[in-house]
Amino acid sequence: TQRAQQSRILKKPFHLLLLKSPMGLGRSSSSSALKWLGFVTAVWVQSISGNNYTFSNYSDALKSLMNLTQVELNSLSVAKDVGKAFGILAGLASDRLSTPVILLIGCFEGLLGYGVQWLVVSRTIQPLPYWQMCVFLCMGGNSTTWMNTAVLVTCIRNFRRNRGPVSGILKGYVGLSTAIFTVVCTALFSSDPASFLVLLSVVPFAVCLTAVFFLREVPPATSTAEENEESRYFAVFNIVAIVVAVYLQSYDVIGIKTGAVSVAFASVLLILLASPIAVPFHAYVRSLNLNEEDVEGRADEPLLRSEITEETVVGAAAAADNELPPYPTLLKEEENNQGGIEKRRPVLGEDHTILEAALTVDFWVLFVSFLCGVGTGLAVMNNMGQIGLALGYTDVSIFVSMMSIWGFFGRILSGTISEHFIKKNGTPRPLWNAASQVVMAVGYLLMALAIPGSLYFGSVVVGACYGVRLAITVPIASELFGLKYYGLLYNILILNFPLGSFLFSGLLAGLLYDAEATPTPDGGNTCVGAHCYRLVFIVMAFTSIIGVGLDFWLAFRTKEIYTKIHASKKVKRSSGSVR
């Protein structure tokens, strides 16, 4: 009877009643718009948070101003990357502080770190002692960990069913940030290193202050309709991002980097970066229209559906609450033979504490393979200025820009493609890391041979594969070890940035370059010729091959969890079609 049905309704949890309310699936128009507005500001933050990769644009000015050897210059670069080691603080804070507070810490720290570097390079103050410069470079590097932690943790939790696209888009814009800064600085200041550092100081500060008001955690999608809507909007973000990347690449192809043309180019770039703001407006208007139609079409519909539909909705809500693993094992307790409750270690796909993750083989395989990829990639990025000069190029900005742009393509495409193949047939995500490491090894060997055009090809290959490594590793960590402690886990993984920078840039590249270099009268040194970095590239190619083996091993060990994720996504789509 109707009265009995109403009685059963009152016993249901409120969030399940909301899922079946006339307003649709419990997502208000303002909440949907706020979620996408937060993602837009997250994209803007990532567009300016790759300043760690811009060191080559002003490293030569520091080297000449402070009369540094290549080892000393590379040590400054290592200090910049050591700042990422203190990202553990941001990871710890991510579970205790709100997203706006984390963003504020990052933007103020960056303002101070890069601001002091600007004072030195612009000769406003005398060069600071070497150790003090290391401190301020470290602060500049650490500032990005607060921004990245706030953005990645918040967005992956908000869009947990689309982790691949989220990671690819956000990390893709990080890759583009170097090219964005380079283009804007060239247009406005003719590549002046001091002016470039002004941009690194002020622009991230202003953008983060904007994001403080809009970026925050909101409830994730709970229905197939919402997930499909997310996929459509992510496709729009991908298209806009690709347009920005192609537009930036055309700047290098055209070659006109001064005058009104350059200023116009930078102006159009800023408009393109602002264009994603249309997505939250569209989401708001669409939600209003859908709600009005839903109310009109369902005004006379009984509140209770059939038992089958009811069970489907409950199952879908439960699946949404327990994204990973796709089977009910989130509780780390189980009954023993005596009927008591005892704790057990979590399995892959469940939430791991940092200690629990560190006790697994899979974590260390992921950690070391990540080191093989990002460590060698950072060595090329940090030394691109000297690599280009050694091979006879007077202007290396095109190589820095190419690595940034192709790094973007690697990030954005790998995130979307890997997600597609997980949904299609459960392909383990680490296989994409293995493929990128193979291509990266080929790139290093070609640069070691120093054949004509090899630096162009190497910049494209290393940039793209480095981007793949970053975009793929981010969701892998959340899929294997859960989202509960993801902020801290992510920042432990990026310890590979300072560690890789120290091993491959500070030690390997610095020592081998100095061994080949000729001293200069001012106390520095210089090296010209293919021999300067040949051995460096050969060692890094061998390291990449080691990374390939580790990635294949991790893919083999995790194939079962990706099979279950694939099955979970199929069940989710099936429940949506029943509804």
pLDDT tens sequence across 389-424: 888 887 777 787 788 778 888 888 888 888 888 888
Of the ranges 68-72, 110-114, 282-286, 386-390, which one carries the lowest mean pLDDT score?
68-72
Residue 360 has pLDDT above 80, yes or no: yes
Average pLDDT, the chain: 79
Query: What is the rounded CA–CA span in Å between residue 234 and residue 412?
Result: 11
Q: What is the pTM of this model?
A: 0.70
Torsion sign across C-alpha atoms 419, 423, 429, 434? negative
Mapping DSSP to helix (H, G, I), strand (E, B) and coil, where does residue 546 land? helix
Query: What is the rounded CA–CA span in Å between residue 384 and residue 94?
Result: 34
Neighbours of 229 (CB within 10 A): 19
Alpha helices in 83-162 (DSSP H): 87-94, 99-121, 130-158
Using left for φ > 0, alpha for ψ between -120 and 50, and beta otherwise, residue 123 falls in left
Give the whole-number percent of the chain exceeding pLDDT 90: 19
Query: What is the rounded CA–CA span in Å between residue 362 and residue 550?
Result: 10
With a CB cutoff of 8 Å and minimum separation 6, the contacts of 180 are 47, 48, 248, 269, 273
Confidence of residue 102 (pLDDT cuts 50, 70, 90): very high
Query: What is the rounded CA–CA span in Å between residue 543 and residue 448?
Result: 14
Higher pLDDT, 483 or 109: 109
Mapping DSSP to helix (H, G, I), strand (E, B) and coil, where does residue 518 land? strand
Q: Give the pairing of strands 333-335 and 341-343.
A: antiparallel
**Helix (H) / strand (E) containing 259:** helix 259-274
With a CB cutoff of 8 Å and minimum separation 6, the contacts of 532 are 386, 387, 390, 513, 516, 517
Contact 269, 182 (CB under 8 A): no
